[in-house]
A and B are shown apart, each in its own frame.
Chain A
Amino acid sequence: MTSRWGAPDPGRVMRWYPRAWRHRHSAVLLGTLEEQAETRGGPVLTRADARSMRVHGLAERLSPGVGAGLALAGAVALLFGIVGLVVGMAGAGPLSAVPAVLFVGVGPALLSLSVASLARDVGVTTAAGTVLALVASLVAWVLAALASFSWSSGFRQADLGIERTSFAAASPVFFVGAIVSGAVALAPAFAGVLRGVRGSSTRWTLALVCSVPSAVVIGLFTLAPGSALLPALGLLVAWGLRLRVREGVPDDARTMWIESVATQTDRVGVALDRPRRRLLVALAVVTAVLGAPFSLYAVLGGSDGQGLSWLPAAWEQLPPMNAGLAGGALASLPLVAAGGLAASRRWGRSGGVAGLLVSVAVVMNAVGAAMGPSGDTQTYGVFVAAVLVGIAVLLPAARWVPGPPVGRWAVIVVVGVAAGWSAGVLALSLFPLLAPVVAVVFAVVAARQPLIPRGAAGAHQPRAA
Chain B
Amino acid sequence: MTILTEPAFWVLTALAETPRHGYAVLRRVEQLNGGESPLRITTLYATLERLERSCQVRVMSEEVVDGRARRTYDITERGREVLSHEVERLVVRARAAEASLGGQSPARGRATGWAPA
Chain B residues lying within 8 Å of A251, measured Cβ to Cβ, are 1-2, 54
Q: CA of A24 to CA of B62 in the docked complex: distance in angstroms?
A: 12
Chain B residues lying within 8 Å of A195, measured Cβ to Cβ, are 115-117
> Number of contact residues on A: which range applies?
20 to 34
Chain A residues lying within 8 Å of B70, measured Cβ to Cβ, are 28, 31
Chain A residues lying within 8 Å of B78, measured Cβ to Cβ, are 252
Bits for B31-61, please: 1 = Cβ < 8 Å to A, else 0.
Answer: 0000000001111111001100111000000
Contact B46 A249 (CB under 8 A): no
Question: Does A265 interact with chain B (Cβ within 8 Å)?
Answer: no
Q: CA of A55 to CA of B21 in the docked complex: distance in angstroms?
A: 23
Selected contact of B41 from candidates A36, A60, A121, CB within 8 Å: A36
Selected contact of A198 from candidates B1, B22, B45, B115, CB within 8 Å: B115
Least distance between A160 CB and chain B CB atoms (Å): 54
List the count of A-B residue pairs having beta carbons below 8 Å apart: 83
> Number of contact residues on B: which range applies?
20 to 34
Question: Does B107 interact with chain A (Cβ within 8 Å)?
Answer: no
Question: Does A122 interact with chain B (Cβ within 8 Å)?
Answer: yes
Chain B residues lying within 8 Å of A273, measured Cβ to Cβ, are none
Bits for A194-230, please: 1 = Cβ < 8 Å to B, else 0.
Answer: 0110100000000000000000000000000000000
Contact B41 A49 (CB under 8 A): yes
Q: A32-B26, A49-B41, A123-B5 known; A248 and B55 CB under 8 Å?
A: yes
Question: Does B111 interact with chain A (Cβ within 8 Å)?
Answer: no
Question: Does A138 interact with chain B (Cβ within 8 Å)?
Answer: no
Question: Does A460 interact with chain B (Cβ within 8 Å)?
Answer: no
Question: Does A97 interact with chain B (Cβ within 8 Å)?
Answer: no
Contact A35 B23 (CB under 8 A): yes
Contact B117 A29 (CB under 8 A): no
Chain B residues lying within 8 Å of A60, measured Cβ to Cβ, are 46
Q: CA of A36 to CA of B27 in the docked complex: distance in angstroms?
A: 9
Q: CA of A398 to CA of B1 in the docked complex: distance in angstroms?
A: 20
Bits for A227-245, please: 1 = Cβ < 8 Å to B, else 0.
Answer: 0000000000000000000
Contact A52 B40 (CB under 8 A): yes
* Closest chain A residue to B1, Cβ basis: A251
Q: Which of A52, A60, A127, A249 has the most CB of B within 10 A?
A: A249
Question: Does A34 interact with chain B (Cβ within 8 Å)?
Answer: yes
Contact A52 B71 (CB under 8 A): no
Chain A residues lying within 8 Å of B40, measured Cβ to Cβ, are 49, 52
Which B1-20 residues have C-beta < 8 A from chain A?
1-5, 8
Least distance between B97 CB and chain A CB atoms (Å): 12
Q: CA of A210 to CA of B41 in the docked complex: distance in angstroms?
A: 32
Question: Does A124 interact with chain B (Cβ within 8 Å)?
Answer: yes
Which B68-112 residues have C-beta < 8 A from chain A?
68-71, 78
Which A44-96 residues have C-beta < 8 A from chain B?
49, 52-53, 55-56, 59-60
Q: CA of A25 to CA of B41 in the docked complex: distance in angstroms?
A: 12
Chain B residues lying within 8 Å of A192, measured Cβ to Cβ, are 3
Question: Does A371 interact with chain B (Cβ within 8 Å)?
Answer: no
Selected contact of A127 from candidates B2, B8, B43, B69, CB within 8 Å: B43
Q: CA of A7 to CA of B105 in the docked complex: distance in angstroms?
A: 46
Q: A36-B26, A123-B8, A251-B1 known; A28 and B54 CB under 8 Å?
A: no
CB-defined A-B contacts under 8 Å, sample of 17: A25-B49, A30-B68, A30-B69, A31-B23, A32-B26, A32-B44, A33-B41, A35-B23, A36-B41, A49-B42, A52-B40, A59-B46, A121-B50, A123-B3, A195-B115, A195-B117, A196-B116
- Which B residues are within 8 Å of any A CB, using their own CB? 1-5, 8, 21-23, 26, 40-46, 49-50, 53-55, 62, 68-71, 78, 115-117
- Which A residues are within 8 Å of any B CB, using their own CB? 21, 24-25, 27-36, 49, 52-53, 55-56, 59-60, 121-124, 126-127, 192, 195-196, 198, 248-249, 251-252
**Given A31-B22, A248-B54, 13 other A-B contacts at CB below 8 A?**
A32-B22, A33-B41, A34-B68, A35-B68, A56-B43, A122-B1, A122-B3, A126-B5, A127-B42, A196-B115, A196-B117, A248-B55, A249-B54
